[in-house]
């Protein structure tokens, strides 16, 4: 069990384009609440759950998370692409590092 007692899902892939990646098939078959995906294009995370319809769209197109429509994220979600620089990420424990 994951966040708020719901089944949560974290997907990690080491292939950049994921053309034949099992990760995409896993997204298509899963009904879990996916909270983060890491692939060669970046990191996509949303503690409220990543929009399932947008994930399915990407999976069917066989494109990496860098193509995710960020308007589909909640206010707590984020996408950080590998080419992004100087990105400040949310951290509920930030006070520990100041």
Domain contains 95: no
Q: Which strands sit side by side in the sheet containing 33-39, from one edge to the other?
A: 8-12, 33-39, 42-45, 78-81
Domain contains 92: no
Q: What is the pTM of this model?
A: 0.72
Domain contains 84: no
Segments forming the whole domain that contains residue 57: 3-73
Number of domains composing the chain: 1
Domain contains 11: yes
Q: For residue 19, is pLDDT > 80?
A: no
CA distance 92 to 67: 27
pLDDT confidence of residue 11: 56
Q: For residue 6, is pLDDT > 60?
A: no
Instruction: Name the average pLDDT for the chain.
Output: 76
Question: How confident is residue 25, by pLDDT bands cut at 50, 70 and 90?
Answer: confident
Domain contains 30: yes
């Amino acid at each position: 069990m994951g966040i708020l007692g719901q089944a949560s899902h974290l997907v990690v892939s080491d292939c950049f384009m994921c053309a034949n990646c099992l990760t995409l098939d896993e997204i298509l078959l899963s009904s879990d609440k996916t909270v983060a995906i890491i692939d060669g294009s970046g990191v996509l995370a949303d503690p409220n759950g990543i929009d399932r319809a947008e994930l399915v769209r990407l999976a069917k197109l066989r494109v990496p998370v860098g193509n995710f429509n960020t308007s589909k994220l909640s206010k707590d979600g984020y996408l950080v692409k590998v080419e992004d620089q100087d990105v400040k990420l949310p951290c509920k424990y930030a006070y520990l590092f100041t």
